């Protein structure tokens, strides 16, 4: 598909300009994959039911939308279709015929009932690149089971390895598996597009949270497979070297200090005006690991003599691997994060200025940007149906019959439900 100007070489919106992606998914793992494609310039159309993506309702709210939805769904246009109805599926077919990629995370039998299985979509667009996210895979002994990030961390062993050695298992504090899976989705889409460019053929692609997390553990589960050594839960410490951990400061904060190399330990000693590296207990990596408790105690006593910022500056100047442990409120103030444009303000039609995370890949030839605010439910329904060839009267009729909805219709329905 060429871009809206018909120019196949116009990459002014990013390297994926001219591609159209249908986001027929909910929550995080699959929708965020579509977002990443939108960040790189694709025209992403999010198709929702009248109820909307469940992520619009989970978490702290801003107006009618939850924070996670607003954070995860920039660079998309939005339309509402009730795909439970056959007539709405015929409308979807018109939209799907213009698409290059479709992303979903709907399980069977709902997938086929909604008309968005691979074979059904392929009938509308023979060269479609169709990507589905499941928890455990498209077949096999766990086929059809519901699953989310937390469960997969259990199956893949992450929960067994995360947390303090003598404590309970602890999940990752952010949905790391969903985010990694989203990256797999975006990567798979681009690889399949390259194949289609050469052969003209689209294809079905399946991505699972379980496979993604097993793949991500090449340094833990992979080490067990290659050496037979079972990884241990170490909390903030390293299995291989010391010191490595979180250390307190005078102003009741903490910093991270780690030393994957002899020079870094020597740098700590010089910066903190100590001679620990001449102590036989700490003379080399093996000795430091054997006496880690005592070493951590000594370092903590010394770090507690400094405020966090002063300590970080002193250790950075000495070429020590150190970082402050920022709170969520401090992260947006970090000068490097701001310099990297990882916080972007967009103007939302109802909520005013909304800050979202930026784009983590810096393209120097075809720059990317956050172009569009996270959409209102049904905000672009009329616009997208018009692009699919429907006249104003036809669109009015689709909305009147409940097959589609624009945002005004969504608001009217909400008002009726609330009395």
pLDDT digits (tens, 9 = 90+) for 156-215: 999 999 999 999 999 999 999 999 999 999 999 999 999 999 999 999 999 999 999 999
Whether the per-residue pLDDT at 147 is higher than 70: the answer is: yes
Question: What is the predicted pLDDT for the residue at 6?
Answer: 43
The secondary element (H helix, E strand) that includes residue 357 is: strand 352-357
- Under 8 Å CB-to-CB from 251, ≥6 apart: which residues? 307, 308
Q: What is the mean pLDDT of residues 235-255?
A: 96
Residues classed as catalytic: 178
Q: What's the rounded Cα separation, in Å, for the pair 33 and 188?
A: 10
Whether the per-residue pLDDT at 5 is higher than 60: the answer is: no
Question: What is the predicted pLDDT for the residue at 261?
Answer: 87
pLDDT digits (tens, 9 = 90+) for 391-411: 999 999 999 999 999 999 999
Contact 308, 324 (CB under 8 A): yes
Q: What is the mean pLDDT of residues 228-245?
A: 92
Q: What is the mean pLDDT of residues 225-229?
A: 92
Question: What is the predicted pLDDT for the residue at 419?
Answer: 77
Question: What is the predicted pLDDT for the residue at 277?
Answer: 95
Q: CA-CA distances (angstroms) from residue 198 to 21, 43, 193, 195, 201?
A: 20, 22, 9, 5, 8
Q: What's the rounded Cα separation, in Å, for the pair 233 and 236?
A: 9
Whether the per-residue pLDDT at 255 is higher than 60: the answer is: yes
Residue written as token pair 């102003």: 251
Q: What's the rounded Cα separation, in Å, for the pair 177 and 365?
A: 31
Contact 262, 284 (CB under 8 A): yes
Name the more confident of 12 and 24: 24
Go through the domains of the chain in sequence order and give each one's CATH number. 20-216+340-417 (3.40.50.10540), 244-248+254-324 (3.30.1540.10)
Q: What's the rounded Cα separation, in Å, for the pair 261 and 276?
A: 15
Name the more confident of 9 and 351: 351
Q: What is the CA radius of gyration of the chain?
A: 26
Q: What's the rounded Cα separation, in Å, for the pair 136 and 213?
A: 10
Neighbours of 67 (CB within 10 A): 14
pTM score, whole prediction: 0.93
- Under 8 Å CB-to-CB from 137, ≥6 apart: which residues? 143, 206, 208, 210, 211
User: DSSP assignment of 52-99, as one string?
Assistant: --GGGTSSSEETTEEHHHHHH--SEEEEEE-TTSHHHHHHHHHHHTT-
Q: What is the mean pLDDT of residues 225-252?
A: 94
Residue written as token pair 């608001």: 411
Confidence of residue 223 (pLDDT cuts 50, 70, 90): confident
pLDDT digits (tens, 9 = 90+) for 301-348: 999 999 999 999 999 999 999 999 999 999 999 999 999 999 999 999
Q: What is the mean pLDDT of residues 241-255?
A: 97
Whether the per-residue pLDDT at 3 is higher than 80: the answer is: no
Q: What's the rounded Cα separation, in Å, for the pair 156 and 141?
A: 15
Q: Is 209 exposed, middle or buried (0-12, 13-18, 19+ CB in 10 A)?
A: buried
Please give the mean pLDDT across all residues of the chain: 95
pLDDT digits (tens, 9 = 90+) for 121-141: 999 999 999 999 999 999 999
pLDDT digits (tens, 9 = 90+) for 44-91: 999 999 999 999 999 999 999 999 999 999 999 999 999 999 999 999
pLDDT digits (tens, 9 = 90+) for 95-105: 999 999 999 99
The secondary element (H helix, E strand) that includes residue 132 is: strand 129-134
Confidence of residue 151 (pLDDT cuts 50, 70, 90): very high
């Amino acid at each position: 598909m060429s871009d809206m100007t018909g120019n196949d070489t116009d990459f002014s919106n990013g390297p994926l300009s001219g591609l159209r992606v249908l986001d027929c998914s909910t929550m995080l793992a699959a929708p965020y994959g579509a977002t990443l494609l939108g960040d790189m310039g694709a025209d992403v159309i999010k198709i929702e039911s009248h109820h909307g993506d469940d992520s619009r309702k989970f978490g702290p709210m801003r107006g009618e939308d939850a924070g996670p939805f607003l954070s995860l769904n920039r660079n998309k246009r939005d339309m509402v279709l009730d795909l439970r109805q056959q007539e709405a599926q015929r409308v979807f077919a018109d939209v799907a015929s213009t698409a290059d990629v479709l992303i979903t995370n709907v399980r069977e039998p709902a997938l086929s009932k909604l008309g968005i299985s691979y074979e059904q979509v392929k009938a509308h667009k023979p060269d479609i690149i169709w990507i589905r996210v499941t928890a455990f895979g498209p077949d096999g002994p766990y086929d059809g089971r519901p699953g989310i990030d937390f469960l997969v961390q259990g199956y893949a062993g992450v929960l067994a390895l995360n947390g303090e050695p003598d404590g309970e298992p602890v999940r990752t504090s952010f949905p790391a598996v969903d985010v990694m899976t989203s990256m797999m989705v975006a990567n798979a889409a681009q690889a399949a597009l390259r194949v289609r460019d050469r052969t003209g053929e689209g294809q079905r692609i399946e991505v699972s949270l379980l496979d993604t997390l097993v793949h991500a553990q090449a340094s833990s589960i992979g080490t067990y497979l290659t050496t037979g050594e079972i990884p241990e839960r170490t909390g903030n410490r390293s299995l291989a070297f010391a010191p490595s951990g979180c250390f307190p400061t005078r102003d009741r904060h903490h910093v991270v200090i780690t030393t994957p190399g002899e020079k870094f330990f020597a740098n700590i000693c010089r910066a903190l005006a100590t001679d620990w590296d001449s102590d036989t207990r700490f003379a080399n990596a093996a000795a430091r690991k054997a006496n880690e408790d005592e070493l951590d105690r000594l370092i903590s006593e010394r770090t507690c003599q400094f405020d966090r910022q002063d300590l970080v500056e002193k250790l950075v100047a000495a070429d020590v691997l150190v970082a402050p442990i920022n709170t969520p409120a401090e992260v947006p103030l970090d000068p490097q994060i701001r310099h990297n444009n990882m916080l972007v303000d967009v103007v939302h039609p109802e909520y005013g200025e909304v800050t979202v995370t930026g784009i983590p890949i810096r393209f120097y030839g075809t720059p990317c940007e956050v172009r569009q605010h996270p959409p209102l439910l049904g905000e672009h329904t009329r616009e997208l149906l018009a692009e699919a060839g429907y006249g104003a009267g036809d669109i009015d009729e689709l909305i009147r019959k409940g097959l589609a909805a624009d945002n005004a219709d969504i608001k009217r329905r909400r008002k009726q439900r609330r009395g």
